[in-house]
Each structure stands twice: as C-alpha cells, then as structure tokens.
Amino acid sequence: MAYSVEERRRRRASGGMLPLLALSTVSEYYRLPWKPPVTAGLLAANTLVYLRPAFIHPVIPHINEVWFNPNLILKHKDLKRFFLSPFYHLDEPHLVYNMMSLLWKGIKLETSMGSSEFASMVFTLLGMSQGVTLLLAKSLHVFFDYQKAYYHEYVVGFSGVLFALKVVLNAQAEDYASVYGILVPTKYAAWAELILVQMFMPSASFLGHFGGILAGILYLKLKRSYSGLDPVSMVVRGVTRAVTWPLRLLSSLVRSRRRRRRLSGRGQSGIWRCQSCTYDSSGWQSVCEMCGSGRDRGNGWSVNQGQTHSSSSSDLPLDELRRRRVERYS
C-alpha cells in the first residue's frame, strides 16, 4: 500500500514482522530450482532502505526528502521524489505487506519471462505508474481545482508498481481469484483490490494505486503493438552482460580446465597393447594381463593416446610366450 504523511503521524512502528518476511523469502527461494535474482534484489533494496544500516545511511536520502508530492515534483522538477519514493515505507506492516506481494508476483513473472525482461518491465512500470499518478493529480488540479487531496498529498510505497504488476500477471487469466474473501474474475482482481483497500484503509493513496492499474493496462497495450525487443530490455541485457562478463569468463576457464583434465586422464583409464603378446590390457594395469610383461620403458601403447615409444626389449621366444599364457589362464 502507499500511505500519506497524515497516516504516518498516526501509525507507530511495529516490530517483529521482518523475521516473518525473511522466513517467507528463504522458504520460497529454497524450493525453487532457479532463484530469480531481480526479485531478490528488489526485496533487498526496499528492506535496506527501510532499515537504513550504518553503511548506507549517509548515502540514501531521508524519507522527508523523497515523499511523492505532485506539487513539489512539478514545481522544482524533483526527479528524486519521482523515482525514489516507491522504495520507502512508513513502518514494518507497510513494508512487509508490499514485499510479500512483490515476492509472490515477482517470482511468477521473472520465472516466466526471464530476469532481463522482468527488470526492464519493473523499471518501465515504475516510471509509468509515477507518471500517470502525476498526470492525474495535475489534471484534477487544473480542471477541477481539486488539489488538497491529491496535488499536495505526500505518499510513499511500492504499491503503485505492485498494482501494475498485478494487471500484467492476471491479463490472460480466465479463472477466478479471491480478493479479501470475495471471489472475482482474476483479470479484474486489481480493480476489486483497489476498491476494497480504499474501503478498509481510506488513508491509502487511491490515486497512486489507480495510476498503477492504468500503467499496467497501458504497458500491455504498448507491448502488444510492438513485437520487437523494447529499448529498456536491450539496455538492461547489455548492462547485465557487461557486469557478468568477468564471471562468465572465469566460468568458461574453469570448465575448459576440467575438460582438459578429463581428456588427459582418459589415456590412463583406456587400454594399452602389449608389444610381447599383442594383448590389449586395461590402462589401470601396470603389467600385461596375458603374459605378465611390464609396461615400463614404453612397452605398449594406448588406444586413446596413440602410438608411444617402441619397446627396447626384443620379442619373447614362442615357447616362453606359450608358457606364460598357460600360467596366466591357469
């Protein structure tokens, strides 16, 4: 949910819910064969911004500097408020509610569409949901002089993006979903949640949630009209490849070294031919399995390695060779 500054004054921090979020995240990721990295990164980013540990405290701005306020954004062209406000939350229930929703939606979407495309979509929906909300607030102010509730409202939270993700996730669904105990068609679940949330929590940002739904619908329409790879996805994929290039290079070197080791070991674990009796013995044997001649001084050759040095000893007499064969088989 996205809450206003008035709600922040009435709410008190509620501890004990972050361990629940951590437990749910670990449990979900543990059972997955592939761990969606972008969803994990978004969860970590929102949580770190809320906790503000000492190593990032001097870097990230305070919540009072990033409240989403249409009047201040347009008046001062404050892009910091525009892009950073979704990553800030009022208290633990606010953070945990949004992150649990992101955990479920993010895993399903990122698993189905891939990390680079999912990251591109989240970035696009964040900008679109914020932009639509800003446009709606300005329109209400200009055409209806309706400024107190929305144009001068201070809100934070990731829920605008979550509503947009919900629209994308449920766009093709034909079944029914339960929204706060009410069964509705899944493709309209976002609209039902918008109304119910506003009924039970009037202080939640209606315009922010409504802007998220419109952003999701607009994104789907643009996606269907454009069949190629969108520019944001291309940029995300390029950055991802550039960042992971050292790891991919190291991984290829390790695989190449292991492959060479396996190939070099096959000669010893193959077969070799005795020069005395021409019997093919196992590569693990140091003496001929037929006549007992040693493999030393290049006696024999490996089928896997090719011809080696010829034996320096002369061939055994025929009688001696027969005697050794009899002894070997007896």
| Helices and strands per DSSP (H, E), number in the chain | 12, 6
Cα–Cα distance for residue pair 206/196, rounded to 1 Å: 11
Active site residues: 159, 209
Residue 215 CA: distances (Å) to CA of 129, 185, 249, 304: 5, 20, 39, 63
**b/e per residue 205-234 (b: at least 16 CB within 10 A):** bbbbbbbbbbbbbbbeeeeeeeeeeeebbe
Contact partners, residue 266, CB within 8 Å, separation at least 6: 304
Check if the beta carbon of residue 203 is closer than 8 Å to that of residue 191.
Answer: no
Cα–Cα distance for residue pair 54/139, rounded to 1 Å: 41
